[in-house]
Structure 1
């Protein structure tokens, strides 16, 4: 199993790293769209849409993602003038709720999706074990379609800001997960959601939050003393919201990463599946790898719209 995991990880890195290093946005956007389309296929299968309907939902994610990106002038394919460069060069209007200079997608997209994640996630974790499987299959499929398209938009917008900005979001989720794992093993006593994921504990959540706070301090120091291609998410939050806003934002984002993880665990448990698929041998499926990112990505960009200063 370990050998299989390592081989899969190496293959994924060989595919991902060139797209991250490319100056053009489209290689990363195309690869991201491929992955979220695969996640759409997994979502459909977990929610009672197997076979051709699952393929159709995966294709729908790709098509809708392309259409919505063009509608909001994100244009990751470089088919029109460079919107990010034009926006960055424009006058910076200090209006809370409007996107920072250099961001393209309207902040309202992130605030609406973030609010739905916060409210819907809480409801799903409270009542999902009782009602999720009873809800209409079409409704669940459309929900997955929307979640994945918004996540891809946020992923692409984040990459357009710079590699440092994107990696700071990824590492928030990874540090929270690693901190929660080791903190939960060492100190875990009170179960977080035993009916959904018996292994998770409140102590693990606090450990994950502490891990990300320490990461933020280190990352801000790197931003200040090293030459990086873009400010990190942590530096944006510190300069825009101050130290207290930074801490509160990190606590909130880590909490929402846990919600994303638990939400996918709920869906798998309702479907009687251990993994979302076996597309990534040794690692499960794509949804298993991106579940915590799904709420975090749009919420980070929502917070960015407050970081004027």
Structure 2
């Protein structure tokens, strides 16, 4: 059983790495369509792709949902749309690495908010220092772009909290699928207007679709596989590396270089999350049960 368990763990790690690279590569490819259809157009296409994937996987019974279930789903819809729009607008202004780093403050804040440990307080201070360094006053600083990155962070934190509520009220992935479908419906008029006034080229449309597949479909399906093979702390630890992956992809794929100070700030934010994940206390061990019959072993 040990070789089999090790193989499953290796497969989970490989899936995490592939998912992270796909996610950031998709965002980079989507940015190549900005000159033609803009961030709004790319987000609209991404919403269509995400809705198609989640509807196929979640298969929500929309007519069976009650108003009690629809309320958090509608809130999740607004957050889902705003999060992607603010992130892609931030990428357009400040680059992939800085935008994803600022957005990552959302889940980090959620992870640290409920804790009272000194370690987490130190992590919060380190992350805050990283943000101050990233947003330090400079003649060329784009504060609108940074503000959009922070808005994406607020949306991601809200997305996490709302997902918990939706998960309790709506079975399976039906809630997320319903939210993605509503978000796609909201962006349909946007797509029509853009197609009329800024007709997309085949290349721009291809980049936008690739962004939707690589940044929405692949990560979602990969996470379903990963969480069955990798412990939750290891999954959370790897998620903290996404800002570094984004900075590397932006540097290699888009020529968006960062200076040493910006790399140090990104490193501080990533390290804060890594320490917060690793320092979490282990869940209590389950109570001992009576041995099962030999036939079950």
User: Does TM-score exceed 0.5, indicating one fold?
Assistant: no
> Which structure: larger Rg?
2
TM value normalised by structure 1 = 0.38
Larger relative contact order (CA 8 Å, sep ≥ 6): 2
More helix by share: 2
